[in-house]
């Protein structure tokens, strides 16, 4: 869930809301026979709090509920219910704490056919960890040999845990070749995203990012950054992009919840200046969020 940082402090000071109360640390939430344990129905979302703000927290809560429904489960609470618990949890920490907020839903029981989740058995937990927001990165980016699944080959509509082993092997493989992160292609050879984030390029002053086609997460940070850059006067386009477009880019940057906006310094064997648009997007994001400007 990092946006390509080579290292990121693993969360500390964990608090988890489960079955009506807050637990310190990492309490067990799954049973050995739970549907999610053996058949992978867990969905999650990730939000951030830093500098006294929690940008787009409501949208991350809404996506949690939408992912659960896409997985065929009936969420035990609506987005406002998730949001209220998230805010309650954030208030347990110091006001300027840098937090990773992860609501999760999963099925406990199987439907009569054994394999589908029993919709009404949907459980919920929300886990918060203290996790510093990484500074602007300088990512070495490659192209992964592994692809994003199509919407008809995996449940890409949900932010589902079962999609992430594919992203995990993308990262492992990229790192074995000395890169921090990798572009994943869709089935039609268009760039989808990276293993952990959405991706943007800048060429001749125009900002472009892959057009959502159901194969990758249309990220909340991505959508926010597109609006902020457009309002700032830049031309921002969604397009079908190939690796050649990235090879010829003046600038590449990544967006995602964990690091927000982070810059690419190398694509394959080409060094690139971590660019001004990434820097501007990060500044705009901090300003919009109401967080203190970075030093």
Interface residue list for ligand PMP (CB under 6 A): 1, 46, 167, 193, 196-198, 217, 219-222, 255-257
Sequence-ordered list of residues with C-beta below 8 angstroms from that of 277, at least 6 positions apart, any chain: 200, 202, 207, 229, 234, 251, 253
The angle, 0 to 180 degrees and rounded to 10, between the axes of the packed helices 220-231 and 276-289 is 100
Query: Would you give the distance in Å from CA 48 to the centre of its chain?
Result: 10
Residue 110 or 263: the one with the smaller Cβ distance to ligand PMP is: 263
Pull the structure tokens for residue 81: 């219910």
Residue entry with tokens 């086609």: 213
Residue 51 or 256: the one with the smaller Cβ distance to ligand PMP is: 256
CB of 197 to ligand PMP, least distance (A): 5
CB of 159 to ligand PMP, least distance (A): 7
Residue 108 or 126: the one with the smaller Cβ distance to ligand PMP is: 126
Residue 223 or 242: the one with the smaller Cβ distance to ligand PMP is: 223
CB of 241 to ligand PMP, least distance (A): 15
Sequence-ordered list of residues with C-beta below 8 angstroms from that of 263, at least 6 positions apart, any chain: 136, 137, 138, 139, 251, 252, 253, 254, 274, 275, 278, 279
Residue 129 or 193: the one with the smaller Cβ distance to ligand PMP is: 193
CB of 30 to ligand PMP, least distance (A): 21
CB of 24 to ligand PMP, least distance (A): 26
C-alpha to C-alpha distance for 283 and 136, rounded to whole angstroms: 11
The angle, 0 to 180 degrees and rounded to 10, between the axes of the packed helices 220-231 and 57-70 is 140
C-alpha to C-alpha distance for 273 and 117, rounded to whole angstroms: 48
Residue 27 or 46: the one with the smaller Cβ distance to ligand PMP is: 46
Pull the structure tokens for residue 8: 């990121």
CB of 74 to ligand PMP, least distance (A): 23
Sequence-ordered list of residues with C-beta below 8 angstroms from that of 22, at least 6 positions apart, any chain: 15, 16, 88, 89, 92
CB of 224 to ligand PMP, least distance (A): 8
Residue 108 or 134: the one with the smaller Cβ distance to ligand PMP is: 134
CB-based burial of residue 250 (10 Å sphere; 0-12 exposed, 13-18 middle, 19+ buried)? middle
Residue 110 or 167: the one with the smaller Cβ distance to ligand PMP is: 167
C-alpha to C-alpha distance for 75 and 36, rounded to whole angstroms: 14
C-alpha to C-alpha distance for 40 and 24, rounded to whole angstroms: 25
CB of 104 to ligand PMP, least distance (A): 13
C-alpha to C-alpha distance for 274 and 252, rounded to whole angstroms: 8
């Amino acid at each position: 869930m990092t946006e390509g940082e080579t290292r990121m402090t693993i969360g500390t000071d964990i608090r988890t809301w489960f079955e009506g109360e807050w637990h310190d640390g990492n309490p067990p939430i799954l049973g050995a026979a739970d549907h999610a344990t053996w058949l992978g129905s867990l969905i999650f979302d990730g939000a951030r709090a830093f500098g006294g703000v929690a940008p787009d927290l409501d949208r991350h809560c809404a996506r949690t509920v939408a992912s659960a429904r896409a997985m065929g489960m009936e969420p035990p609470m609506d987005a406002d219910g998730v949001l209220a618990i998230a805010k309650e949890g954030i208030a347990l920490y110091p006001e300027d704490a840098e937090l990773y907020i992860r609501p999760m839903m999963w099925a406990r029981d199987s439907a009569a056919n054994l394999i589908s989740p029993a919709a009404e058995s949907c459980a919920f937990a929300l886990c918060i960890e203290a996790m510093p927001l990484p500074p602007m990165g300088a990512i070495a980016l490659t192209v992964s040999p592994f692809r994003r699944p199509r919407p008809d080959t995996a449940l890409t509509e949900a932010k589902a845990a079962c999609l992430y082993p594919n992203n995990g092997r993308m990262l492992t493989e990229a790192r074995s070749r000395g890169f921090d992160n990798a572009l994943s292609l869709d089935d039609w050879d268009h760039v989808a995203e990276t293993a952990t984030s959405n991706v943007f390029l800048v060429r001749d002053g125009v900002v472009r990012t892959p057009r959502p086609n159901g194969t990758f997460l249309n990220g909340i940070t991505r959508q926010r950054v597109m609006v902020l850059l457009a309002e700032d006067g830049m031309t921002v386009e969604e397009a079908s992009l190939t690796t050649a477009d990235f090879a010829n880019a003046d600038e590449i940057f990544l967006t995602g919840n964990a690091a927000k906006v982070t810059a690419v310094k190398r694509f394959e064997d080409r060094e690139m200046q971590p660019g001004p648009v990434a820097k501007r997007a990060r500044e705009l994001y901090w300003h919009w969020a109401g967080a203190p400007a970075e030093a």
